Amino acid sequence: MFAPSLKEIFAIAAKLPAAPRVLAEVAQLLEDVNVDVDAVAGVLRRDGPLTAAVLRISNSAYYGSGGVGSIEAAVSRIGFAEVHRMIGWAASGVLADRVLPFYGIETAVVRQNMIANAIAAESLAAIARCNPRHLYTAGLLRPIGMMVLDRMARNFGDPLDKFDILRDGNYATWESRVMQIRNAAVTAVVLSEWRFAQDVVDSVRGHGLTPGAKDPTRGAAVLHLACWVTTQIGLGLPGEHDAWEISPEKLALAGLVEDDVMGRIRLVEEQVQELQSALNY
């Protein structure tokens, strides 16, 4: 058992790929209606792996196949309305670059979950009158806390005390027992440190909607329901099988009705399949 300090959390987070921090900077730039291509491209060029991933995606069948040789051309081709989403997809591949052995999650599972949650959260946010870009980001980067805690467990944890679904049941029980902190709380403090919008931070921090949680936001409820949608299409994480539910109380908090959520299941599944085919992941 170990209880990580904020200093230790930030030290491990600093070793993660820089892609999320680049995404935060781009998101801030896109809030300015007068932003230009060079400004966005300049931020992207700071991170080599993300730049390569963005170029690969911009040349994929999803965006018209080929012909893009620079970041400026990539941003110009797809436009500012789409660039945040594309950077997110690229970031998911850069971030989900290794197995999470203590959580028992393969890289492909993490990435598929990230993308499905992002798509579902963005789609529901538009109906719930939340900021779709913020909810997309929250859905995408939700597993960062797991990535940080898994790396910490490798350094300080007992190799024999990995998550076991038969013994622990779910990640919440295992994290409380082994690390005394939940992954959503870790994600929230890291995203705050990286200067993501407060709406993104609050949505991630409260999306478990656990009984007695302090003032969960509408965004947190939307993200919770998005995770439920992701689970329905078979892309949930193994230790979260019982973490999400669709209930009148949670729908009311999100400003949604049941049909809003049920109607997104097939839509999200189709969009994820389209991305998988076009981006070959």
Q: Is the pLDDT of residue 65 over 80?
A: no
Dihedral of alpha carbons 60, 108, 51, 88, sign: positive
Mean pLDDT of 64-90: 82
pLDDT > 70: percent of the chain:
97
Output the average pLDDT for the chain. 90
What confidence score (pLDDT) does residue 144 get?
97
What confidence score (pLDDT) does residue 55 get?
87
What confidence score (pLDDT) does residue 90 get?
86
What confidence score (pLDDT) does residue 91 get?
87
Give the pTM: 0.93
Q: Is the pLDDT of residue 1 over 70?
A: no
Q: Are 57 and 63 in contact (CB under 8 A)?
A: yes
Q: What is the CATH number of domain 1-16+102-281?
A: 1.10.3210.10
The values of phi and psi at residue 105, to 5°, are: -120, 130
Range among 8-22, 33-47, 229-243 rated most confident: 229-243
- Give the whole-angstrom CA distance, residue 227 versus residue 219: 12
What confidence score (pLDDT) does residue 157 get?
65
pLDDT > 90: percent of the chain:
60
Mean pLDDT of 248-269: 96
Of 245, 259, 165, 171, nearest in space to 211 by CA: 245
Pick the more confident residue, 238 or 154.
238
Q: Is the pLDDT of residue 212 over 80?
A: no
Distances (CA, A) of 220 to 83, 138, 165, 224: 24, 9, 26, 6
The confidence band for 215, taking pLDDT boundaries of 50, 70 and 90, is confident
Q: Helices (H), strands (E): how many in the chain?
A: 16, 0
DSSP string computed for 139-173: HHHTTHHHHHHHHHHHHHS-TT----HHHH-SHHH
Kindly give the interhelix angle for 107-128 and 132-141, rounded to the nearest 10 degrees.
160
Of 61, 83, 85, nearest in space to 73 by CA: 83
pLDDT digits over 95-131, tens only?
888 899 999 999 999 999 999 999 999 999 999 999 9
What confidence score (pLDDT) does residue 195 get?
93
Kindly give the interhelix angle for 107-128 and 258-279, rounded to the nearest 10 degrees.
140
Domain boundaries, the chain: 1-16+102-281, 18-96
- Give the whole-angstrom CA distance, residue 200 versus residue 198: 5
The confidence band for 156, taking pLDDT boundaries of 50, 70 and 90, is confident
